Amino acid sequence: MARIRKIRRVEQRAAKCDIEVAEHHNFFANGILVHNCTMYSDGSHARSIDSRHHPSRDWLKSLQGRVGHLIPAGWRVCGENMYALHSLGYDKLPSYFLVFSIWNEKNECLSWDDTVEWCELLGLTHVPVLYRGIYWEEAIQALWEPGVPSGFGPESEGYVIRFADGFHYSDFSQRLAKVVRPGHVQTDEHWMNKPVVPNELDNADSS
């Protein structure tokens, strides 16, 4: 066993890294799957390990405060925090938080039907379903085209394909695929370093 010879304080630098796996843009923190924004029964956090306060995260923290007591212990609700404009702006969002997966205490992703049911129980909004059925590449591709307006705004980032059935995290890379527009990130400065510009909801409901 190696012995610790010396401990010295390292000055924290301003720049921080966002740890993610290139294949599916996830990473584990203390054994917990982290993806974009995650809510638990006792808190929430963004995907980045940069946990400093940012105004765009306040709305999500408020939402967690309202629904956290309804989330079973050991479960996590993963989704997109859409409050602030990043690379694209949206003006017809149904909510600032769109759920795309819910995981139980066994690190299992719930089936899509169970995910929808839990969203109803928690009062949350899930991402829209563009297509459901057998894998038919031509039909799926026909539903989206880069540069074409989406239901939420002037342009769509892309889409995700997943198994409708539930699956364990160990099968994640075989159960989900992500397609984004060419050159998706088109800004020259990280959004966290710019003034917060809120996206717009489709109605007066801010839930």
**Where do the domains of the chain lie?**
27-188
Q: Taking the CB of residue 166, how many other CB atoms lie within 10 A of it?
A: 19
What proportion of the chain, given as a percentage, has pLDDT over 70?
A: 64
pLDDT of residue 3: 57
> How far apart, in whole angstroms, are the C-alpha atoms of residue 102 and residue 111?
9
DSSP strand pairing (97-103 vs 43-46): unpaired
End-to-end CA distance of the chain: 53
Specify whether the CB–CB gap between 149 and 156 falls below 8 A: yes
| Largest distance between two CA atoms of the chain | 62
pLDDT of residue 29: 38
Give residue 87's pLDDT band: very low, low, confident or very high (50, 70, 90).
low
pLDDT of residue 154: 65
pLDDT higher at 122 or 181: 122
> How far apart, in whole angstroms, are the C-alpha atoms of residue 158 and residue 163?
17
Average pLDDT of the chain, as a whole number: 75
* 103 contacts: CB under 8 Å, gap ≥ 6: 33, 75, 76, 78, 109, 110, 169
pLDDT of residue 159: 84
Q: Which fold has domain 27-188?
A: D-amino Acid Aminotransferase; Chain A, domain 1 (3.30.470)
Phi then psi for 84, rounded to 5 degrees?
-105, 150
Whether the predicted pLDDT of 86 surpasses 50: yes
Whether the predicted pLDDT of 145 surpasses 80: no
Give residue 119's pLDDT band: very low, low, confident or very high (50, 70, 90).
very high
Q: How far from chain centre, in Å, is Cα 30?
A: 18
- CA dihedral 85→90→91→92, nearest 10 degrees, is -130
pLDDT of residue 18: 35
